[in-house]
Each structure stands twice: as C-alpha cells, then as structure tokens.
Amino acid sequence: MEKELMLEGMKCDGCVATVQERFSAIAGVEKVTVDLEGKKATVQMNQDIPEAAFNEALADTKFKVTGSK
C-alpha cells in the first residue's frame, strides 16, 4: 500500500533526511522517499496509517503534512 503526502516547510537535504527518519520510525512503514522539489513524500506501508500519525511524527519540527493522495 502506498500513500503520497504533501509537505510544507522543507528547504534542504537536511529537511529531507529528518522527514525520512521520522516517517521510517512509524510502525507499519516499509519505505519512505522524500522529494524536496515536489514537496512530497511517498510512503510504502504494510497497513493503512492515518495522516495524523505522520503529523505526530513531525510534531516537534517545522514540517507539516498538508494533504495526501
């Protein structure tokens, strides 16, 4: 199962690394690909994970999930 998450607040490769690390730590996430230019993350999961879980993972950062596909 795959989900595309639109992101706000990313400006550099360090931002990409932080988002990848935070999302990868969520139970059920198998792979995370973050696109800085496209301001999105593509997440492959073995279960449905609500968008709120991704925002929780970013709670103490400057990043925010603004929507999903």
Given a cut of 90, is residue 69 above it in pLDDT? no
Report the C-alpha gap between 2 and 15 in whole angstroms: 21
Whether the CB-CB separation of 20 and 57 falls below 8 Å is answered with no
Q: How many CA atoms are closer than 13 Å to the CA of 24, on its beta-carbon side?
A: 10
In this structure, what token pair is assigned to residue 67?
A: 């929507």
- Return the biggest CA–CA distance within the chain: 30
pTM passes above 0.75: yes
Strands, E assignment, 1-69: 2-8, 29-35, 40-45, 64-68
pLDDT tens sequence across 12-67: 999 999 999 999 999 999 999 999 999 999 999 999 999 999 999 999 999 999 99
